[in-house]
Amino acid sequence: MSKHPSRSPRPTNQLRLLLPEMSTQPASEPRARLRFDVPAGQSRVRLDVYLTRMVENATRAKVQAAIDDGLVLVNGKARKSSYAVLPGDVIEVTLRRPPAPDIVPEQIPLSIVYEDDDVLVVDKPAGMVTHPAHGNYTGTLVHAVLFHAMVSGGAPGRPGIVHRLDKDTSGLLVLAKNEHAHAALAKQFADRTVEREYHAIVWGRMRSPHGTIDAALARSQRDRKKVAVASGGKRAVTEYDVLETFRFLSLVRLHLLTGRTHQIRVHLAHVGHPVFGDLTYGGRSPGWAGTQEKRLQQATNLLKIIDRQALHARTIGFRHPVTEEMMRFSSPIPHDMEEILQKVREAVG
């Protein structure tokens, strides 16, 4: 770890939009809209069934209630739940944002890498959600941080949050402790001047030791919980360097030039090298190791070591929001990833 702050650090101690709320919130609640362009090849299916599949956290009963309340339009017209969705249909769903619940600080172990009056850098473990959201209103990183210190700025229910990591991605996060720090850090992220380096174990051997993956990303039209490469999506750019190669795995270093949801995981899967252990994007199949029985067994054994994607936010660098000094922090590879690397190194040896 290296850092160059000009002030002394303190001693360290340890939206989603929800269909279930749509028909119960007051009319004064802020609204948002989802739009679904039904792709070619979509089989005929009831409108309520289609939306239950497409909207996160939706139940069929709540979808039907929303349709009955006139909050769902197909090609600009209200339809019944039984309407058969057709390729080319444009479905618009009006959502009311549920109020953010009060956040009660929780005494949860927290690895603090650095802290001063303005910023807090923490090393998030895999399995911890960054901030409260539907289904995760307790036990998040924000709950743990608020037990330790006051953080502020940002969206309601996400105090201090400037960026986030997926639940099962480990590594470094910077949080703001006041409004000024939040605004300054958020601008750095928007201007893409924050240094973010990740390490990942991926399936296969990359064709080139260095490369850039430039592929636009958008929410999947088939599964709203996923992100997919899409020509009409937002531009996303990831640079990679291969650090080590093994029989059927590689250790790669990645730099984000943009910060899209699931960017690294989707990009690596897109080029045929999904992150090892990534259930969502195809990384839990031992078949990536090949058809040889010995390799299949080794891959199966390695997958038993880790129950998440082997992705770690190793380094973060930014300018201090007050002193403007450059600060850079690094986090060691976590135990589960290190154990996999040791085993594949031994196998090579």
Closest CA to 57 of 146, 152, 156, 134: 134
Secondary structure (3-state) at 315: strand
Taking CA atoms, 306 is separated from 207, 248, 319, in Å, by 26, 17, 34
What is the maximal distance between C-alpha atoms in the chain? 66
What does the alpha-carbon distance between residue 122 and residue 141 come to, in Å, rounded to a whole number? 9
Q: Is 321 helix (H, G, I), strand (E, B) or coil?
A: coil
- Cα(239)–Cα(185) distance, rounded to whole angstroms? 22
Instruction: Compute the distance between CA of residue 64 and CA of residue 49 in angstroms, rounded to an integer.
Output: 9
Does the active-site annotation cover 89? Answer: no
Torsional class of 32: left (φ above 0), alpha (ψ -120 to 50), beta (otherwise)? beta
Q: 193: which residues sit within 8 A by CB, 6+ positions away?
A: 318, 319
Q: Which two tokens stand for residue 99?
A: 């109020």
Q: How far apart are CA 109 and CA 96, in angstroms?
A: 35
Tell me how far apart the alpha carbons of residues 148 and 128 are, in angstroms, rounded to a whole number.
Answer: 16
Q: Which of 118, 123, 166, 168 is catalytic?
A: 166
Please tell me whether residue 311 adopts helix, strand or coil conformation: strand
Catalytic residues: 166
